[in-house]
Amino acid sequence: MKLLVVLSLVVAACYGSVVRQQRRFPDDFLFGTATAAYQIEGGWDADGKGESIWDYMVHNTPDVIRGKTNGDIAGDTYNNYKRDVEMMRELGLDAYRFSMAWSRILPTGMANEVNPAGIEFYNNYIDEMLKYNIQPLVTLYHWDLPQKLQELGGFTNPLFSDWFEDYARVVFENFGDRVKMFITFNEPREICFEGYGSTTKAPRLNSTAVGTYICAKNLVVAHAKAYRLYDQEFRAKQGGQCGITISVNWFGPATETPEDEVAAELRRQGEWGIYAHPIFSAEGGFPKELSDKIAENSAKQGYAKSRLPEFTEEEKAFVRGTSDFFGVNHYTAFMVSANDGKTSFPVPSLQDDMDNISFADDDWLKSASAWLTLAPNSIYKALSHLRTLYNDPIFYLTENGWSTYEGRDLIDDDRIEYYRASMESMLNCLDDGINLKGYMAWSLLDNFEWMEGYIERFGLYEVDFEDPARKRTPRKSAFVYKNIIKNRFVDYEYEPETMTMTIDEGH
């Protein structure tokens, strides 16, 4: 007996991390990385591609981008896609999430004119992944609307959902034989609030009180049309899935006072509830507290109707239940307080409708991005909340990642700390029985970080944007992620022996 105790003590001492190591990811858990067309492809007008709202904005108002750079060439994946797939093999990825550029496939946005070179590019890219058993996850829309459609009002045109459905049909028809997971939209909040409601994304409409809300409604209807199209005309023969990705950072109350609880709830509804509730809730439509508040404010402000365009019962039923999974982009958390009257927002505005303030804890590790800190266990907090609210959906984390500054060396220990913390938080989800099926790290490689240009870097691989060949070099975090994928647990002792990548057998 005594011997046994001593023995097990010795074993425990030798394997200090044994407890953590027992927590494994299942073999069928999908590990991948994510990117978006405008951020990596380049070839902005190559071979018949049409102009997108990002092409238009960076060429006409270059000052809006830090360093006045643009995505004209970016990582030049248009010419380097084979190298990108080689990197996926080096990492041993199960899956890869990327987006298609609408204007590369349909140069004017409308389905009357399909660009064969665009179809060919995505065919080659997909086939290259499939050769090595890497499952492609395709996002149809990651922010690069064809400029011609913007000139017709973009997401605020009531016909927007038809244009999107027509585009989706072209994508399903051409690629659905090989792509089994489609994501309609990436981050409705960033499309609608940042693009239409502020000036931090194209098309910079700054119509926070009205544009944001029209966009929200048209976007979820467009999503539902694409989903129903897939369901009715493609699913039986193609056998895949269709869903949406919403950015869900965690917004918890700063204190336990009822005021802060209410503030946090309104904030969650304004951040992601207005996009998620119509699709994932049992009753459908916009979340009640926020929509009541907007209606009340609109009346006070002299509008004839609520600034939030409500759904008809028929529309509610059409949109409800139209996602095979809940794609979550999650990066961080904020604490929310009721507005103490010291902060004033423009009236009318979404910010005024939510009327609260938020902040990160000073102790949380800071990245190169002002909004991004390492908040403890925030994946678990976000997913367990969503799970209760929306009846236990299947989740994929479709983005999660960390930024460092341009020019930093390849030893990115802070990114490694972040990724390891994310793994622990996901394991907490799995322990709790949350239906989390996969994780896409943002990002495979450094890319054009929208308004931040090339200053904030999210890549597991560093990219030399001065080099015409856009050489890619693995950071230390790439080796650590590779090790996690291979082992299906987090080995805290692991250190790469060299900084040279190889492709393991079977990849």
Enzyme catalytic residues: 187, 399
Angle between helices 476-487 and 413-431 (to 10 degrees): 20
Residue with token string 């997971």: 181
Q: Considering Cα of 393, then 281, then 203, then 372, what sign does the dihedral take?
A: negative
Residue 323 C-beta: closest distance to ligand GBH, Å: 18
SS3 292: helix
Does 349 contact ligand GBH by CB under 6 A? no
Looking only at the bridges linking them, the beta strands covering 250-253 and 326-329 are: unpaired
Q: How many residues bind ligand GBH (CB under 6 A)?
A: 16
Residue with token string 């959902």: 161
Q: By C-alpha distance, which of 490, 382, 398 is closest to 432? A: 382
Give Cα 359 distance to the centre of its chain.
22
Partnered with residue 442 across adjacent β-strands are 34
- Burial code (b: 16+ CB inside 10 Å, e: under 16) for 307-320 equals bbeebeeebbebbb
Residue 186 C-beta: closest distance to ligand GBH, Å: 5
Residues in 297-336 at the binding interface with ligand GBH, rule: CB under 6 A: 329, 331
Q: Cα(136)–Cα(94) distance, rounded to whole angstroms?
A: 9
Residue 331 C-beta: closest distance to ligand GBH, Å: 6
Does 251 contact ligand GBH by CB under 6 A? no
Q: By C-alpha distance, which of 162, 150, 248 is closest to 195? A: 150
Does 399 contact ligand GBH by CB under 6 A? yes
Q: By C-alpha distance, which of 505, 206, 187, 246 is closest to 382? A: 246
63: tokens are: 């000052």
SS3 letters for 99-110?
Answer: ECCHHHHCCCCC
Does 371 contact ligand GBH by CB under 6 A? yes
Residue 142 C-beta: closest distance to ligand GBH, Å: 6
Residues in 20-39 at the binding interface with ligand GBH, rule: CB under 6 A: 36, 39
Q: Cα(241)–Cα(246) distance, rounded to whole angstroms?
A: 16
Residue range at the interface with ligand GBH (CB under 6 A); choices 101-109, 187-195, 225-233, 476-484? 187-195
In this complex, which beta carbon is closest to ligand GBH, that of residue 36 or of residue 106?
36
Which member of 11, 12, 347, 370 binds ligand GBH (CB under 6 A)? 370
Residues in 193-212 at the binding interface with ligand GBH, rule: CB under 6 A: 194, 200
Residue 397 C-beta: closest distance to ligand GBH, Å: 12
Residue range at the interface with ligand GBH (CB under 6 A); choices 104-112, 151-159, 184-192, 289-297? 184-192
Q: By C-alpha distance, which of 394, 396, 393, 416 is closest to 404? A: 416
Residue range at the interface with ligand GBH (CB under 6 A); choices 79-87, 112-120, 185-193, 409-417? 185-193
Residue range at the interface with ligand GBH (CB under 6 A); choices 110-118, 149-157, 186-194, 298-306? 186-194
Does 128 contact ligand GBH by CB under 6 A? no
Does 190 contact ligand GBH by CB under 6 A? yes
Ramachandran bin of 165, using left for φ above 0, alpha for ψ from -120 to 50, beta for the remaining angles: alpha
Does 449 contact ligand GBH by CB under 6 A? yes
Does 102 contact ligand GBH by CB under 6 A? no
In this complex, which beta carbon is closest to ligand GBH, that of residue 38 or of residue 164?
38
Which member of 186, 323, 337, 422 binds ligand GBH (CB under 6 A)? 186
Residue range at the interface with ligand GBH (CB under 6 A); choices 9-17, 183-191, 252-260, 411-419? 183-191
In this complex, which beta carbon is closest to ligand GBH, that of residue 28 or of residue 362?
362
Ranges of beta strands (E only) in 226-266 are 241-247, 250-253
In this complex, which beta carbon is closest to ligand GBH, that of residue 248 or of residue 427?
248
Which member of 76, 94, 165, 187 binds ligand GBH (CB under 6 A)? 187
Does 458 contact ligand GBH by CB under 6 A? yes
Q: By C-alpha distance, which of 416, 396, 426 is closest to 491? A: 416
Q: Cα(29)–Cα(48) distance, rounded to whole angstroms?
A: 38
Residue 456 C-beta: closest distance to ligand GBH, Å: 7
Angle between helices 476-487 and 77-91 (to 10 degrees): 50
Does 247 contact ligand GBH by CB under 6 A? yes
| Whether 462 contacts 405, CB under 8 Å | no
Residue 130 C-beta: closest distance to ligand GBH, Å: 25
- In residues, how long is the chain? 507
Does 359 contact ligand GBH by CB under 6 A? no
CA distances in angstroms from 78 to 37, 137, 469, listed in the order given: 9, 18, 12
Residue 35 C-beta: closest distance to ligand GBH, Å: 8
Q: Considering Cα of 418, then 81, then 39, then 228, what sign does the dihedral take?
A: negative
Residue 33 C-beta: closest distance to ligand GBH, Å: 12
Residue range at the interface with ligand GBH (CB under 6 A); choices 85-93, 182-190, 415-423, 487-495? 182-190
In this complex, which beta carbon is closest to ligand GBH, that of residue 272 or of residue 325?
272
152: tokens are: 């017709």
Does 405 contact ligand GBH by CB under 6 A? no
Q: Cα(91)–Cα(120) distance, rounded to whole angstroms?
A: 26
Which residues would be at the binding site for ligand GBH (CB under 6 A)? 36, 39, 186-187, 190, 194, 200, 247, 329, 331, 370-371, 399, 442, 449, 458
